[in-house]
Amino acid sequence: MIEKTVNEKGAIMMKFHTKNVHFQEKMDGAEVSKTKPIYQTSAFSFTDLDDMEAFFEGKKGYMYTRVGNPNTDDLGKGVADLEGAPAGVASASGISAIMGGILAVAKAGDHVIATEDLYGGTYQLFAHELKDFGIEVSFANFEDLSEVEKAIKDNTVLLYTESVTNPLLRVEDIKSVVELAKRHELKTMVDNTFPTPYLVRPYEAGADLVAHSATKYIGGHSDVSAGVVVGSEALVKKAKSKIVHLGANLGPFDGWLGCRGLKTLSLRMERQSANAKKLADHLSEKGSLGRVYYPEFVSERGHGAIVTIDLGENYDVYAFFRSLDWVKVVPTLAGVETSVTYPVGTSHRPVPKETRDRLGVTGSMVRISVGIEDAEDIKAVFDRALEKSKK
């Protein structure tokens, strides 16, 4: 007889690939669907007033879809399980998930310190929108944590960073950031969109909150806009309250799509990371490129599916984008198809030019989201684009 590893509740402890597929609970009843149905409803019915009151007493699960729905709850729970966190809540986008997490920790009069090399949409939220909530944000170089420590004030409550930064692919030292935060009794929040919990699990490294743009690798097929924030029961309860009452909830069909995509996360990330490594190695052999950005190490499972290149002075960036054949030019990432974007013109447009220049986000930079195609075909299409755009 094979001995099984069980948790304190007697449930079998599944490994990542198995959890990835079986995060939804089995259904029961007379008619049982193999896949979870879409609860495409704005509200749930009650038999009488006592039945309605049971919802508010916590004895009944659902009342109104903005407040909760089985499909959206499944997505939050599924990502939380993979991150090793007790709780998670889904929202309408990655930015709304980040917002919910921030507002679970910070209020008017508080101060947040964020890494300076982050996604432009997050920069916009931090540099401009949070001001209207009375929250002060400073940006610091998280490669030098002494600089971060100097930025801490009496009203600082949170350190915010990305596990792998966008688009420069710097790998954050999450444990050191957490240690710094704990020394000063601060919370830590990490955007884990790029590596996903397949490669990195910040909550297990001590982060208090972990956010995802589930639009990207969680959904995985470029057909849904969603976000998820995970963490402790207490913090996620606060984040959910903000998401619900500010109207940033996710709809049931989008929740269902996110769950469908999540089930293949490990397979997609395994293939896409392997392809990205092959492409990065191939492009690194070309001495004519300005620079190739690809992490040396993210985890034992791989190093991620994003490759960023700086074409430098030897290539015409406009000609390069016109010469990509079947590779799509899009303002996003993480679909199963290889795609490219132009950070200066899209994701990092809100970031001031002087900040972009200091970080090295240049007008000749291209961010490549590597898909699941044959690696040789991917290499060939970029070789052709480079050949056609060479000055």
**pLDDT in tens for each of the 391 residues of the chain?**
344 565 666 666 778 777 777 667 665 655 677 888 999 999 999 999 999 999 999 888 899 999 999 999 999 999 999 999 999 999 999 999 999 999 999 999 999 999 999 999 999 999 999 999 999 999 999 999 999 999 999 999 999 999 999 999 999 999 999 999 999 999 999 999 999 999 999 999 999 999 999 999 999 999 999 999 999 999 999 999 999 999 999 999 999 999 999 999 999 999 999 999 999 999 999 989 999 999 999 999 999 999 999 999 999 999 999 999 999 999 999 999 999 999 999 999 999 999 999 999 999 999 999 999 999 999 999 999 999 999 9
> Taking all residues of the chain, what is their mean pLDDT, rounded to a whole number?
94
- CA dist., res. 276 & res. 3, Å (int): 38
By the 8 A CB rule, do 227 and 96 touch?
yes
- Taking CA atoms, 350 is separated from 29, 93, 113, 266, 290, in Å, by 51, 18, 18, 32, 24
- CA dist., res. 288 & res. 137, Å (int): 40
- Domains 16-262 and 266-389 fall in the same CATH topology: no
By the 8 A CB rule, do 260 and 357 touch?
no
Q: Would you list the domain boundaries of the chain?
A: 16-262, 266-389
Q: Quick one: pLDDT at residue 21?
A: 75
CATH topology of domain 266-389: Aspartate Aminotransferase, domain 1 (3.90.1150)
Question: For the stretch 36-65, what's the b/e string if a residue is b when 16 or more beta carbons lie within 10 angstroms of its beta carbon?
Answer: bebbeeeebeeeeeeeeebbeeeeeeebeb
Helix (H, G, I), strand (E, B) or coil at 31: coil
Q: CATH: 3.40.640.10, 1.10.357.10, 3.40.50.300, 3.30.70.20. Which one for 16-262?
A: 3.40.640.10
By the 8 A CB rule, do 36 and 71 touch?
yes
